[in-house]
Structure 1
Amino acid sequence: MLKSLRLSLTAAALACAYALPAGANPYPITEDQRATAERVAQAGVPLDELAPNAPDSHTVKRGDTLWAISSIFLKSPWRWPELWGMNRQQIANPHLIYPGQTLYLVKRDGRATLQMSPGGSSAAAGESGDVVLTPRVRTTDLADNPVAAIPQHLIEPFLNEAIVLDSDELAAAPRIVAAQEGRVMLSQGESAYVRGIQQPMSSYRVFRSAKPLRDFETKEVLGYESVYLGTADLTRLGGETLNQGDKLEVPATITVRQMRQEIGVGDRLAPVPTRNYSRYVPHAPGKPLGGRIISVYGDAITAGQNQIVALNRGSADGLERGHVLSLWRAGRVVKDRTDNRNEAVQLPDEAHGVLFVFQTFKRVSYALIISVKEPVSTGDRFSEPR
């Protein structure tokens, strides 16, 4: 019997990757890594994990995300590495999926995989009957960027704004000590004077004093979250001068370039980080993992879909970027009125939403609410997806 190979989306992507010009693929793929990806691709997912109305094919459109595409095919979108044969731990950027490509659902032997051509026509059969992956160069309009894992625009601004410190390090950060003409608050384009700059940089983020993030149950401080105010450019270095024989410090000068909130005397400066455009691979934690929401980012008391929350677990607890988590609604205490005793009973907790972790610190993480049925509040529970 001829041996068949189920060609997954990732296997096809790997074939393309091998044909890229030198320097185009920043993540080299070894033969062992490709073999692992192909082995996973042969497994797929059981048919009962498919969505009830999973189509036979889907053409990728602008605005699609990997999460949305996987939701079309799967009951649990975070299981897409199995469906697509994605070796997420070794292949850092497998998302070679572009608008205009068509994905086909292949069902064999009680399992399903995705591939980029019907019936495996993108592979050529060798003399032995084995399927041979043929590297090919795919041309595309440069405007057609590969689809992102989740709606990237929802988290990109946050990646430059969020800062969580293990201790209140901002207390020693450069600080605004005065503004022009005796002002207390600054507007965009106005200048201010800063002390404490040790290593000058061209631009800075401006933060208000950090607030402690406390564990919901133990009240232990897990980190310090600072409120992002805007950005400022360093326009003049500080120095020293003599005033009636006394040596005085001359503060550095900054100019406010962008404002999110009012900037004033006492606010602190931090370096502007490199823009982070990591393409995340959503996946379930490899072990049981649970905790509580400790804050809603911003000024809101509750949060809904596409809002950001802070979790009381971080990289030290095994939480990592791309982890998908279930949100739980606490079961109500009700009276059993079916007999004369009217005993109180605790209803079970119910899963009612999905979190996507996109930023981790040592003991705190931030997650995007992908879906939710009811408003999310501080103290709500999360766990590995179930």
Structure 2
Amino acid sequence: MPPLFDRQFALDPYPAYAWLREHAPVRRTRLPSGVEAWLVTRYADAREALADPRLSKDPRRHGEQGSHGKGKVGIPGERSANLMTHLLNIDPPDHTRLRRLVSTAFTPRRVAAFAPRVRELADGLIDSFAPRGEADLIHEYAFPLPIYAICDMLGVPQEDQEDFRTWAGMMIHQPGSPRGGVGRAVKRMRGYLAELIHRKRAESDTAEGGGDLISGLIRASDHGEHLTENEAAAMAFILLFAGFETTVNLIGNGTFALLRHPEQRAVLQRAVAEGDEKLLGGAVEELLRYDGPVELATWRFAARDLVLGGQRVREGEAVLVVLAAADRDPAKFSAPDTLDLARQDNQHLGYGHGIHYCLGAPLARLEGRTALAALLHRLPDLRLAADPDTLHRRGGLIMRGLRTLPVEFTATEGG
């Protein structure tokens, strides 16, 4: 078995995942944090596990204790900040109620109406570095774009958005962000969200009630039920936390893949020039499959003993579905290690499956399409400015993303 979780694995985990798919598709493994979990790597098993009601999302189901215990399986700081009541941590019927309420506020219409603002943000960020002829696309483009976008959508005033950028940088260890850890950033964000929700709740009782997402969450109701203040804060937090990092990685990994596959990049560049939205949309799906932003689905725990992929999983044991492995399973995808932007019937698992399918996937796809199209249109000779083998991946278990992405291009005036 190839080694897992070392530096070489972080750079390219796909050979190790291929070995696991063939020889040990459901394997119990000790993670770098010390927690033991079952890794699920085949597509059929992964899809089944993502929708299996016997696998709970509630961290309280986790049976391990001590140094292998509960604090290692969630977002650091979310428990102490009272942010546990979000969709990634709960099961039906609470999940059903919360998802229904949130869906009334986070609608496809709201996302579609946000498209011009995302284009404006993308162009504004490119304007800021286009005259230099070089940039770090993670720090200057992929990272700020989704932060500013979700802040705008949530209704965070512009004068406060730099604070959110700082906290987000702390959460994913973004270079240049102050040290202090994820837990501290989560607590600061929680305190701010509590104040903002209180203010928006007061405004919602007047004619000043806004059209932003937090105001929508406050107003959301179903048969007389409303989100509590803690639930609204937790939902705003997880939309920000889960939404921005996945989009950072989608833009970064996607651009990196295109720069390493010039023939595919040329196909997409022609599609952008011709306004071929269908091919652009399909390209984003293939980039999600080929080197997606989420390497492992978020934690699941056996609510009772069960058999998964021929292995007996005991009650309380942790299960991690390896999306990156499932989405390169040759039993599901032809030539799975080949980037093919014209791939058809691309039913990847990049945003999950079942009742926990990512609520923010439409927004992430919109941001990914817009960001990639703007780069290819505005910087047509974009190229890597570093040896790809020297680029580092960010630490962490769930997400897969680059720390930096240095590029060069012909300098142009902004606008």
TM-score (norm 1): 0.21
Question: Is the strand fraction higher in 1 or 2?
Answer: 1
Structure with greater contact order relative to length (CA < 8 Å, sep ≥ 6): 2
For the pair shown, the structure with the greater C-alpha radius of gyration is 1
Question: Is the helix fraction higher in 1 or 2?
Answer: 2
TM-score (norm 2): 0.20
